[in-house]
């Protein structure tokens, strides 16, 4: 269960996780991306109302906070809206500033490649565990348990390859995948959530295919679905 609303028990920690994700992402990017992320982090920290899931602040105040002019504010806010990091919930009107909400799911999806810099436990904590809604901490980097090879399937053996190559990445994304079926050269894997499946299908299928082909060259396609 992806934690997309920082409310309820553990909300304070989840707020810090969102800010950490933005910071870790920015520090691995160029100056333009770093400045945009820093401006959003500062705006969130200073003015975001987490209880109401709302950012209601005028462009003049934002300009003062960011030490820029209002034209720059308009441009940067448009960038943030364009990538889905901020969502307009109510347009500005006479005597009333625009209101936004944080696009948490999009922020987490876009910053996911930087989570590994924080650690595999961070990735697992932010995404959560769909099985019972509880967060289960992962072992620390270098202490990721190897996969069980007893099934002897191509996926079991491929997991061993993935674990050896990148234990943190394996723990965060590959370990939770299960073998759903095989039809000819097509291997189907099941992920515990829609977000998990979408991320792996978009970013990691080439790596999965390479690992599977390393143990069974008859595999020519890997598909990731959501477990039913």
Residue 165, domain CATH: 3.30.300.180
CATH number at residue 18: 1.10.10.10
Measuring CA to CA, which residue among 186, 175, 190, 179 is closest to residue 219?
A: 186
Q: What's the chain's average pLDDT?
A: 83
In this prediction, residue 92 carries a pLDDT of: 82
In this prediction, residue 131 carries a pLDDT of: 38
In this prediction, residue 40 carries a pLDDT of: 96
CA gyration radius for the chain? 21
Q: How does strand 178-183 pair with strand 186-191?
A: antiparallel
Q: Considering the domain boundaries, does residue 221 fall inside one?
A: yes
Structure confidence at residue 226 as a pLDDT band (50, 70, 90) = very high
Q: Considering the domain boundaries, does residue 5 fall inside one?
A: no
Q: What angle do CA 142, 127, 45 make, to 5 degrees?
A: 105
User: In this structure, what token pair is assigned to residue 19?
Assistant: 């800010």
Q: Which domain holds residue 175?
A: 140-226
Task: Indicate whether 162 and 101 sit together in one domain.
Answer: no
**Range scoring the smallest mean pLDDT among 7-11, 65-69, 70-74:** 7-11
Task: Indicate whether 25 and 78 sit together in one domain.
Answer: yes
d(CA 77, CA 59): 9
Q: Find the mean pLDDT for residues 97-121.
A: 85
Q: Considering the domain boundaries, does residue 4 fall inside one?
A: no
User: In this structure, what token pair is assigned to residue 87?
Assistant: 């969502």
Encode pLDDT of 174-222 as tens digits: 999 999 999 999 999 999 888 888 889 888 999 999 889 888 989 999 9
The yes-or-no verdict on residue 118 having pLDDT over 90 is: no
The yes-or-no verdict on residue 1 having pLDDT over 80 is: no
Q: Find the mean pLDDT for residues 137-166.
A: 75
Q: What percent of the chain has pLDDT over 70?
A: 86
Q: Considering the domain boundaries, does residue 135 fall inside one?
A: no
Q: Find the mean pLDDT for residues 38-60.
A: 92
In this prediction, residue 6 carries a pLDDT of: 56
Among 110, 129, 162, identify where a domain stops: 110
Structure confidence at residue 138 as a pLDDT band (50, 70, 90) = very low
Q: Find the mean pLDDT for residues 55-68.
A: 94
| Count of domains observed in the chain | 2
Q: Considering the domain boundaries, does residue 47 fall inside one?
A: yes
User: In this structure, what token pair is assigned to residue 72?
Assistant: 């720059």
């Amino acid at each position: 269960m992806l934690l997309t609303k920082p409310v309820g028990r553990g909300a304070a920690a989840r707020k810090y996780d969102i800010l950490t994700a933005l910071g870790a992402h920015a520090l691995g990017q160029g100056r333009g991306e770093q400045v945009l992320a820093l401006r959003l982090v500062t705006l969130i920290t200073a003015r975001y109302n987490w209880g109401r899931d709302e950012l209601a602040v005028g462009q003049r105040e934002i300009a003062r906070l960011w030490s820029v002019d209002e034209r720059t504010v308009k441009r940067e806010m448009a960038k943030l809206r364009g990538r889905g990091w901020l969502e307009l919930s109510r347009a500005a009107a006479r005597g009333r500033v625009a209101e936004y909400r944080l696009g948490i799911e999009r922020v987490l999806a876009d910053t996911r490649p930087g989570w590994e810099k924080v650690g595999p436990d961070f990735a697992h904590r932010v995404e959560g565990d769909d099985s019972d809604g509880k967060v289960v901490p992962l072992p620390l980097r270098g202490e990721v348990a190897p996969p069980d090879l007893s099934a002897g399937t191509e996926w079991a053996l491929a997991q061993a390859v993935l674990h050896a190559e990148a234990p943190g990445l394996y723990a965060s994304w590959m370990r939770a995948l299960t073998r759903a079926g095989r039809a000819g050269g097509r291997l189907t894997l099941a992920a515990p959530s829609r977000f998990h499946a979408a991320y792996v299908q978009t970013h990691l299928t080439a790596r999965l295919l390479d690992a599977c082909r390393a143990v069974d060259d008859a595999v020519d396609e890997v598909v990731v679905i959501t477990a039913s």
